[in-house]
């Protein structure tokens, strides 16, 4: 950021790897350990159990997107390009 380039206009850049996914990551109450993360996951699954749409492939809005925009299907090159992400191990500092 200090050196300029494309990141010089950023106000904030966040990089993180969350143990246990978002259940153990930034923004969660501290402290956390495996038992606490397991309890959080249990609470999320219990809350989700009563929802009318629980799986993304059963969501009519997602079906609409695939039927009208990503017509090659969920495993197509375009859907992968637009909807998937990848992770790269980074060092302590960005150079």
Average pLDDT rounded to a whole number, residues 6-17:
64
**pLDDT tens digits, one per residue of 21-65:** 566 656 666 667 888 888 888 988 898 888 899 888 889 999 999
Claim: this prediction has a pTM higher than 0.95: no
93 domain-assigned: no
What does DSSP assign to residue 40? H
Q: Based on the number of CB atoms within 10 Å of its own CB, is 62 exposed (0-12), middle (13-18) or buried (19 or more)?
A: middle
* The pLDDT of residue 3: 65
The domain tally of the chain equals 2
- Same domain? 64 vs 38: no
- Same domain? 65 vs 37: no
- Same domain? 18 vs 42: yes
Q: Based on the number of CB atoms within 10 Å of its own CB, is 43 exposed (0-12), middle (13-18) or buried (19 or more)?
A: exposed
Q: Return mean pLDDT, the chain.
A: 78
pLDDT of 82 strictly over 60: yes
């Amino acid at each position: 950021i200090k050196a300029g380039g494309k990141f010089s206009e950023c106000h904030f850049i966040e990089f993180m790897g969350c143990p246990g996914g978002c259940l153990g990551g930034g923004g969660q109450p501290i402290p956390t350990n495996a038992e606490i993360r397991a309890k959080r996951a249990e609470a999320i699954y219990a809350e989700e159990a009563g929802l009318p749409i629980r799986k993304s492939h059963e969501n009519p809005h997602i079906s609409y997107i695939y039927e009208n925009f990503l017509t090659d299907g969920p495993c197509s090159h375009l859907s992968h390009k637009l909807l998937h992400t990848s992770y790269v191990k980074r060092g302590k500092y960005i150079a």
